[in-house]
Amino acid sequence: MSMSEKKDFAANAPLPLERAGRGAAEKQSAAEQSFFRGEPIEWLTVPTTKTVVTDNAFGDSEASERPARKNHFILYGGNQYKREEFYQMAFPQVYRKYPYKVIFATDDICRLGGSQRAKLQYHILAQKFPLVEVAAEDKEDLEAFAARSETEAAQLWLARMRWSQGHEKMVTFGQNIGVEDKASGGRVKGLWCYTADMDAVKAVYTGCPMTWELWAAPIVGYLQGQRDARTAAALEIIQTVMRLLYYQNGLYLTVPGDVRRAIVKWVYQYLKDGTTSFPFAGDVGSDSRRVTINFERDTSLKDNRVIHDNMAEYNREANAEKAARRTKQRFEDLTGERWTTAELHAQGFTDRNIKTFCKDGLIKRLYQGHYQRISK
């Protein structure tokens, strides 16, 4: 959703568009003011830049600054927060009460989109731990606030809030649990249409054949209705299209990022002219495979604490682990079973090395200046 696409849409489509301000930072207007626990709460979007170096065949390379990702912060109570920091502030005694994440033994988890993977993970954790209570007013305030932003991050956050006990799960286990497979880097395996059924012990996902013509029909119908009505704002339209893209009539669709981006771009174009064809056609490539994930057999728990909560302790532990690895590697160079201090020096070991070897139980001091390897 680039700014140029939004401006182009606003200039040509017979629909109102909610615009964001421009400049070093973008904030909500007074008319869009949201509140949390009676205090104003706002989005702050801070653009960043990146340096791009372009080769020049006739001279030195040229460097230029270009727009990069935008950082989205929460302004509340006179402070600026990342979302994780906001939760820590708002729910200080109970946030991440059970700091765990779920590890899946099957890579079939990557058949699901990121949102459905997270939903399954929260569901499994909720079977194992009691959920923290969240006030109804807090839920209403946070949902209204997230709905104000058209950013993908805010909309995913809003979707999680609207899951069954979504607020309680995010406060209890953390607001952004992700599932990432090392081989895939967390990427989905491809388009997959499926049904989902979860209970207390397992989740069953059953694939369904699907064509783009069938799946896109409700999306096109909705957009045509919005063009005819000429009332809805672009933000509301995009939110609805995304819901229709991922879920319809009991069926879910896993959508890779490049496909989603192409469809978002098409939405803006279709709202302008009403004629541009949907960018995909034919079979989506979904198979009919059934995937069953047994929570006892196919999952395990992993500590998911935020190391920044106690960075000093984390650094001490990490440094101790590094030192132990270095000592072990250094000790592997030591030959022989018994030595004098001079013999250890001759092998290149310092007095500090000798002291560390003794402290770590690798050698022992027999008497002044004489040492022996400890057999294990």
Give residue 363's Cα distance to chain centre. 47
In degrees, rounded to 5, the angle at the alpha carbon of residue 98 between the alpha carbons of residues 94 and 103 is: 150
| Cα angle 337, 341, 347; round to 5 | 65
In this prediction, residue 25 has a pLDDT band, given cuts at 50, 70 and 90, of very low
Residues 161 and 289 in one domain: yes
Do 43 and 185 lie in a common domain? Answer: yes
Whether the predicted pLDDT of 88 surpasses 80? yes
Q: Are residues 365 and 296 in the same domain?
A: no
Domains contained in the chain, number: 2
pTM of the predicted structure, to 2 decimals: 0.66
Q: Are residues 348 and 247 in the same domain?
A: no
66 with 197, same domain: the answer is yes
- Residues 110-121 have a mean pLDDT of 89
Q: How confident is the model at residue 53 (pLDDT cuts 50, 70, 90)?
A: low
Answer whether 164's CB lies under 8 Å from 88's CB: no
pLDDT in tens, 57-68: 555 556 667 777
Domain that residue 344 falls in: 311-373
Of 303, 337, 365, which one is at a domain's C-terminal end?
303
Q: What is the CATH number of the domain that holds 343?
A: 1.10.10
Residue at a domain's end among 272, 303, 334:
303
> Do residues 226 and 271 touch, judged by C-beta distance below 8 A?
yes
pLDDT, tens digit, 9 for 90 and up, residues 267-305: 989 988 999 999 999 999 999 999 999 999 999 998 887
Question: Where do the H-state alpha helices sit in 274-310?
Answer: none
Claim to verify: residue 245 and residue 335 sit in the same structural domain: no
- pLDDT tens for residues 184-215? 445 677 899 999 999 999 999 999 999 999 99
- What's the rounded Cα separation, in Å, for the pair 97 and 131? 9
pLDDT at 83: 94
- Same domain? For 102 and 179 the reply is yes
pLDDT score of 124 more than 80: yes
Question: For residue range 225-272, what is the model confidence (pLDDT) as tens digits?
Answer: 988 887 667 777 887 898 899 999 999 999 998 999 999 999 989 988
Quick check: helix, strand or coil at residue 172? helix
pLDDT tops 50 at residue 371: yes
- My answer on whether 323 and 295 are in the same domain is no
Q: In this structure, are 58 and 170 located in the same domain? A: yes
| pLDDT, average across residues 8-32 | 40
Is 332 found in the same domain as 254?
A: no
Question: How far apart are the C-alpha atoms of 32 and 258, rounded to whole Å?
Answer: 32
Cα 140 from Cα 128, distance rounded (Å): 27
Q: What was the pLDDT predicted at 7?
A: 37
Instruction: State the DSSP H helix or E strand holding residue 157, giving kind and residue range, or none if neither.
Output: helix 152-161
Q: Predicted confidence band at 319 (pLDDT cuts at 50, 70, 90)? A: confident
